[in-house]
Structure 1
Amino acid sequence: MKFEEFVSGSYKQQYQYQSFLPASINQVWSWDDPRINVLLEQATKSLGELNAFTLIVPDVDLFIHMHIIKEANTSSRIEGTRTEMDEAVLEEEAILPERRDDWREVQNYVRAMNTAIGELKTLPLSLRLLRHTHEILMGGVRGERKTPGEFRRSQNWIGGASLADAAFIPPHHADMAELLTDLEAFWHNDNVAVPQLVRCALSHYQFETIHPFPDGNGRIGRLLITLYLVSHGLLNKSSLYLSAHLEKHRGAYYDALTRVRESNDIGHWVRFFLQAVVETAESGKTTFQRILALRQELDAEVVKMGRRAVNAQQLILHLYGTPTITVNKAMEVLGIKYVPANSLIATLVDMGVLQEVTGFQRNRIFILRRYIDIFRDGN
């Protein structure tokens, strides 16, 4: 199927509304647009360079964990949560009661992503894996009544207060099984000679158009992008997440998806997606460069601490994965008593390495501010 000849689907009359029935995507794709070829080359190059960082950066899994927290926070924010990065890295008891629902949704996303990436080591990308990921994402939070881990058995819609004024009505649930089977087959069809980044773009569009879950489709669809890239070997680690780019260009993102359904312009969507990969991969490379620079700075600072330098380095290494600390936690991490742990943290505060964030005299929490800022400032 040529992009230029693609017909995105048709509207199917239901009882009092029309649902959109998308065309299948498990087929050979081609295009005449040279802009796609140029963007595909740029995206492949940028993605490869980002992937190289995950192979050479020491203790990279600690930094990947922070990437996942940022992605969870940003992807959830697109859906209306209001948790900031500083809050996302705290324990629940440190979160204000009125903000804990949002915080829990972000933590669910982190668990869902980590679990899905782990399962990819033994399972292929599949509908089964997405259902399990959705179950974790929606469990125990505001969407828990919407059948976590199960595809919808009723009609849903996007925008508006009801089907009568919806901006978009996905396919009827009776049509979903065939569409989802087609999508899953496309992920693994070795007889279809289509570049994996283009397949990933088409897969995200199709998933969001099917909208198979009662709730959480946006988050699962964005998570699907990273899972696809890891499962097909384009990423060694889960280091690329598009949510920050999609949030920044939210209007253009939704417009690009809508343009496919209304005008059959699948080429425009693929160009948008590839450009998002290019810009996000370049931003990711900058993030890794800033992490390496910060690590050199901190190593140079703590080496001046004499005999306490070893404990300081060990504590900072822990903070790269979990960038908040209490004195009690420092005691546990370092295996030392209260007085030396408290003294060590006090010295790191005086040096500007750590920052106390509660303002309390007791139950104080300290944060590796310069490290958090790298992820908060990145696009």
Structure 2
Amino acid sequence: MSQPLPFDRHKPYNHLPLLPPPDEKVITIEILKALNTANKALAELKGLAKKLPNQSMLVNTIAIREAKASTAIENIFTTDDKLYKALAGNEIGMEPTTKEVLRYRQALWEGFKTVKNKKTVSVEMMIKLYREIKQLKDGIRPPQTETVIMKRGTAPLKANIVYTPPRGQKLIEQKLKNLVEFINNDEKYNYDPLLKMAIAHYQFEAIHPFRDGNGRTGRILNVLLMVQKELLDFPILYLSSSIINSKEDYYANLNKVTSQRNWNHWVLYMLNATEETALYTIKKINEIDRLFDRTLVLVRKKHPSMKKEVIEKIFEQPYISPRALINKETKSVNTAKKYLQQLEKLKIVVPEKVGKEIIYLNVDLFNLLAEF
């Protein structure tokens, strides 16, 4: 096998190697041990989620935490309070950063539906994710866009360029075609799914196919790949919180693959992040589940006629409006208001006026999620 061409951070990395990498680079004793523990944690998470009476409650709650963390990695910040108020249906004075987080969440759901339906990852799906995140009709980065990756926190000086991705639309499309074949063809590329996820994430970020939003698109692809490979039934594991707590390591290990073809550190980083996130998510699910059970016991004691679905609804996200409770059982806004006022008297929710509307906050759930 010929030696790879030397890497020059100032020139387009058009000779980015196609997948797969050499087996000896990604199949080591250290990596195999890390795969074992990460897969065990992921299997425990999947099993725990199946036991929940309403998985949508969990999915909605955790998905918004990922959206917030992933956009924060790109230095796009919003507060929990603003975010949950927006989710409750109140768009008065919604800030652009909050809209960015909500667009990420929407892209995640669109991608999830596509993967569940088609069972594959495609270039077209990647483009749809990017368009939803950025709210553009754009596509693959054109050749006149001289994209470079700068060292974070520095002025735009040439000396601070850390990476120049491949350039040329046909070349980018070729590398993306290779990437999706690697992801989808498990017969030809028979790798452990988590190993495949780690390799694919590096390759997507190295190709850097879009003008912007590549990091967020790539992080959505991580969890979609786990769903596609049936490691999870729903997108309930998100690596963004772990990444944001170790951003320097994340970018350093990405760079080591590019500059040194050092896959070992990168793969171990991603596997450790997966295990850590799975175990922490298990802990938070158990906390949310216990809170839900205590709340349900209290409500059934004081208001036995109140439907369980009402309690499930106030656990989908911390803020809720009366309109959000309306369904086949709760058919009017007045009935919904009555339920929420009963929950207010039990100190389960507290009202807050936003514009002309009263919305209600599940305080204990809000506090649990604030630590997520």
SS in structure 2 of the partner of residue 365 of structure 1: strand
1:1-379 equivalence runs, <5 A:
10-11=6-7, 17-20=10-13, 21-26=15-20, 29-30=23-24, 31=26, 33-91=28-86, 94=90, 97=93, 100-123=95-118, 124-139=120-135, 144=136, 147-153=137-143, 154-159=145-150, 161=156, 165-174=160-169, 175-189=171-185, 190-307=187-304, 309-311=305-307, 313-327=308-322, 329-330=324-325, 334-336=330-332, 338=334, 341-358=336-353, 363-378=357-372
Contact 1:111 1:136 in 2 (8 A): yes
SS in structure 1 of the partner of residue 12 of structure 2: strand
Structure 1 pair 211/349, CA: closer, same or farther in 2 (3 Å)?
same
For residue 231 of structure 1, report the CA deviation from its aligned partner: 0.8
For residue 370 of structure 1, report the CA deviation from its aligned partner: 1.5
For residue 152 of structure 1, report the CA deviation from its aligned partner: 4.0
Paired amino acid for 2:174: E
> Which stretch shifts more, 284-293 or 210-219?
284-293
CA distance in 2, matches of 1:105, 1:288: 26
Deviations 1:75-129 (A, max 9, x none): 11111222123322223774563x5211111111111111111011222111111
Q: How many residues align?
A: 360
For residue 369 of structure 1, report the CA deviation from its aligned partner: 2.0
For residue 151 of structure 1, report the CA deviation from its aligned partner: 3.9
Deviations 1:236-268 (A, max 9, x none): 111111001001111111111112222221100
CA distance in 2, matches of 1:148, 1:208: 18
Structure 1 pair 164/231, CA: closer, same or farther in 2 (3 Å)?
same
Contact 2:296 2:311 in 1 (8 A): no
CA distance in 2, matches of 1:337, 1:220: 38
Deviations 1:24-45 (A, max 9, x none): 1136624563221111100010
Deviations 1:260-298 (A, max 9, x none): 222221100000000000000101111221121011110
Deviations 1:20-71 (A, max 9, x none): 2321113662456322111110001001111112221111022111211111
Gaps spanning 5+ residues in structure 1: where?
none
Identity level (%)? 22
Paired amino acid for 1:138: K
CA distance in 1, matches of 2:134, 2:80: 20
> Which stretch shifts more, 207-216 or 185-194?
185-194
CA distance in 2, matches of 1:366, 1:264: 52
CA distance in 1, matches of 2:325, 2:122: 41
Structure 1 pair 7/94, CA: closer, same or farther in 2 (3 Å)?
farther
CA distance in 2, matches of 1:9, 1:39: 30
For residue 350 of structure 1, report the CA deviation from its aligned partner: 3.1
For residue 337 of structure 1, report the CA deviation from its aligned partner: 5.6
Structure 1 pair 292/150, CA: closer, same or farther in 2 (3 Å)?
same
Gaps spanning 5+ residues in structure 2: where?
none
